Amino acid sequence: MIKVSHARRRSVTRNSITVGLATGVYGISFGALAVTNGFSFTQTQVLSLGLFSGASQFALVGIVGAGGGAFAAIATSSLLGARNGLYALSLANTLKLKGFKKIIASQLTIDESTAMSIANNDDEYLSKRAFWITGISVFVFWNIATAIGAFGAGLVSDPKVYGIDAAVGAAFLALLWPRLVSKEIRVIGLSAALLAVVLTPIFQPGIPVLASALIAVIAGYKGFVKNA
Amino acid sequence: MLEAKWIAVIVSSVLAFLLKLSGNIIPAKYLERPKIKAITALVPIVMLSALVIVQTFALGQNLVIDARFAGLIFAFILLLIRAPFIVVVIGASLMAALLRYFDLLN
C-alpha cells in the first residue's frame, strides 16, 4: 500500500467534517417540519436516530402531516431509502467489514458518506476514512440540529404564519435538484409530478406519491435512461 | 393501541436499516443487475418530483394554489443561483409568510 501524505489525510478529514456539518444543519428544517406536522419531539428525534435518511424522513412526516396513512408513509419512506442498500453494496468491497462494525456502517450508509468515500476511492485507506468521518459527522450534526428545530417549532403556535408549510415543497425540490442531471431524467421527473397531480383528487394523501414509483419501474425497466 | 405515527416511525426506521444492511449481506449478483440498478436510481427522482408537487398544491384531496406555490417559485430561483439547502428552505418559508402577512395569498 502506498502511504498517503499527511496533507491529503488532513484534507479528507476536513472535507468530510465540512460535508457532515453542511448536511447536518438542515436537520433544523426537518425537526421543525416534523413537529409542525404533528409529530412529538421524541418521535422526531427517533426518526433522525433510526430512520436517518433525509429524503425518507421528510417524506414520512410530509405524508402523515397531509393526512396520509401509515402504510403510504412507510412505503414511500422505504422506497426512497432503497438506494442506500445499493450504496452499501458498492461500498462493501472498500469497507470490508465484519460483525458489529458492519451494523454501524449500515446505519451510516447514506448519500453523503457514500459520495465522500467514492470521491476518495483512489486510496482504500482514505476511502474508508472518508466514509466513517462523513457518516459520523452527518449523524451527530443531523441529530443535534433535529433537536434544535423540533424544540424551536414547539414554540411556534401557527406554523402557517411563518410559511413553514411552504418549506416542505422547497426542501424536496432542493433534494431533487442535484439529481436532475440530464434531459431524460427531467422528463421522467415531470411525468411523475404530473401523475401525482392527476391522482391527488382521486386517492388518499400519500398514494399519489407512491404511485409515481411506477414511473421509475417502467423507465428503469425499459432502459430509458443511460447511466442513471 | 400504538398510535399510527409511532407505527410509521418505528416500522420505517427498521425497514430503512434492513435495506442498508441488505446491501452488505445479499450477494452482489442479485442487486447489481442493470435493470435493478436503473430502477433504484430513478426511484428518488420520481418520488421527490411527486412530493414537490403534492406538498405544494394538495390540500387533502383538493388541488389549490396558495402561498406555498409562491414559496416554491422562490425556492426554484434560489436553486438556480446555487443557494445552499438551508437558504432555499428558509427563503421559501419567508416568501409564503410575507404574502400571507400582506394578505396577497392565503
The mean pLDDT value for B26-40 works out to: 80
- B77 and chain A: CB distance < 8 Å anywhere? no
**C-alpha cell of A189?**
421527473
Among A16-25, B27-36, B94-103, the range scoring the smallest mean pLDDT is B27-36
Percentage of residues in chain A having pLDDT higher than 70: 97
pLDDT at A129 > cutoff 90: yes
In terms of average pLDDT, the best of A95-99, B29-33, B74-78 is B74-78
The domains of chain A are located at 6-178, 180-228
Residues across chain A: 228
Percentage of residues in chain B having pLDDT higher than 90: 66
* Closest-CA residue to A52 (of A167, A146, A149, A176): A146
Please report, for residues A14, A214, A215, B92, the alpha-carbon distance to residue B45 in angstroms, rounded to integers and kept in the order given. 30, 12, 10, 21
Residue ranges of alpha helices (H) inside A26-163 are: 27-36, 41-46, 54-65, 70-95, 99-107, 111-119, 124-154
Strand B62-63 relative to strand B58-59: parallel, antiparallel, unpaired? antiparallel
Distance (Å) from the alpha carbon of A159 to chain B's nearest alpha carbon: 9
Q: Scanning every residue of chain B, which has its alpha carbon at the shortest distance from the alpha carbon of A145?
A: B86
- What DSSP state is assigned to residue A2? P
Q: Do A50 and B96 touch (CB under 8 A)?
A: no
Q: Do A162 and B93 touch (CB under 8 A)?
A: yes
* Total-model pTM: 0.84
- Counting one residue from chain A and one from chain B, the pairs whose CB atoms sit within 8 A come to 324
**A228 vs B41, B57, B101: nearest CB:** B41
The mean pLDDT value for A123-129 works out to: 92
pLDDT at A79 > cutoff 90: yes
ipTM for this prediction: 0.91
For chain B positions 13-32, those within 8 Å of chain A (CB to CB) are 13-17, 19-24, 26, 28, 31-32
A147-156 pLDDT per residue, tens: 999 999 888 7
**A165 vs B62, B68, B84: nearest CB:** B68
